Amino acid sequence: MPGLVHVVDDDASFRTAIERRLKLSGYDVATYASAQDLLDRLPDDSRPGCILLDVRIPGLSGPELQSRLIELGSTVPIVFLTGYADTPTTVRAIKAGAEDFLTKPVSSEQLIDAIERALARQEAGRHHHRKLESLRALVATLTPREHQVFDLIVRGKINKQIGHELGTTERTIKAHRHQVMEKMQVRSLAELVSIAERLGLLDADKA
């Protein structure tokens, strides 16, 4: 599936021109006259895509839209493309995670290059995100009690201690522990700890 580029610009003729150029390069294009317009038909993170965003647009500005998208948890990469680029705005946009900051007029080479980098970065991020999501999905199948046991297991506690902490017996913990290993689809404690670490469940305290 070709990459989908979301073009946000208040200049209709510019939108048309960019759309033509991008389509010639093999991309799908969706255009928006304002930031609000894009928020109303929010791009789903599930297909490859990026946002080509003007800075100065009526209503929400480009950077403001960027902030909103970050708040909403969107991972769609953003390439800024604007006629007026002041340094503080550029710095803030890049530090906030924008893939690039281009100025009009832009060469096709520059533009395509930035879009390709944005799509590649999104793809890498998505791989990582998907892995974590599948792990979180497994954790979500644990009952509250199993989750407690899971937590203490990966902190190195032994069944006897866990039973004492949770006010039950070692025997019961064994049963929960078995369920945890089963549900998390691991066959060793090492794998379980590795998962917990990658999900950031162990970062509290630590020397």
Partner DNA sequence: TGAACACTCGGACAATGGTCTGAAATAACT
Partner DNA sequence: AGTTATTTCAGACCATTGTCCGAGTGTTCA
Interacting residues with a copy of itself (CB under 8 A) = 85, 87, 90-91, 94-95, 100-103, 131, 153-158, 186-191, 193-194, 197-198, 202, 206-207
Nearest C-alpha neighbor of 199 from the set 152, 134, 118, 153 = 134
Given phi > 0 = left and psi -120 to 50 = alpha, else beta, which region is 132?
A: alpha
Q: Measured between alpha carbons, how far is 145 from 166 in angstroms, rounded to an integer?
A: 9
Binding of DNA at residue 176 (CB under 7 A)? yes
Residue 190 binding partner per list DNA, a copy of itself, none, with a CB distance cut-off of 5 to 8 Å that depends on partner kind? a copy of itself
Cα Rg of the chain (Å, integer)? 24
* Residue listed under structure tokens 């979500």: 140
Binding of DNA at residue 165 (CB under 7 A)? no
**Is the distance from CB of 78 to CB of 99 less than 8 angstroms?**
yes
Identity of the residue, 6 or 176, whose beta carbon is nearer to DNA in the bound complex: 176
C-alpha distances out from residue 17 to 14, 23, 126, Å: 5, 10, 30
* Residue listed under structure tokens 């708040």: 71
Site for DNA in 115-144 (CB under 7 A): 143-144
CB of 199 to DNA, least distance (A): 19
Binding of DNA at residue 108 (CB under 7 A)? no
In the set 30, 120, 132, 175, which binds DNA (CB under 7 A)? 175
Binding site for DNA (CB under 7 A): 143-146, 158-160, 163, 166-172, 174-178, 181, 189
